[in-house]
Amino acid sequence: MPFESYRSTKVAGLVGRQLAELIQHELQDPRLGLVTISDVNVSNDLSFADVYFTVLPDEKSNVAELVLSGASGFLRKELSSRISLRTIPKLRFHYDQTSDTGVRIANAIDRAIASDRANDDG
């Protein structure tokens, strides 16, 4: 079992690097904005790849997810010419909300600190 886990991790890294290059150079859709692949998780049987991305501006996240999902067939075909695997995983795109969550938490901490300072002063 560890061999499969190691292999899926290795394939995930390869898929992520190739997808980033394909999206940047081959996918010419003005609706996308600046897309960054943040993580790729490949199932142990290599049948699915969950691709997590961020996009600037953040308002384009829903549109970018639709565009990338619509282009998944094209991207998968291009991956097959770049990666030597028996089958290329089916691509599932998800907007990575980690950075948004981090900003919200940092803002909440800043507000709590400011509130504590105001209570200490008064």
Q: Where are the domains of the chain?
A: 2-97
Report the predicted TM-score, pTM, of the whole model to 2 decimal places. 0.78
pLDDT in tens, 15-70: 999 999 999 999 988 888 899 999 999 999 999 999 999 998 878 889 999 999 99
d(CA 103, CA 40): 22
pLDDT in tens, 66-109: 999 999 999 999 999 999 999 999 999 999 987 666 677 777 78
Which has the closest alpha carbon to 43: 5, 87, 16, 86? 5
Domain 2-97 class in CATH: alpha beta
Alpha helix positions (H), 26-71: 61-70
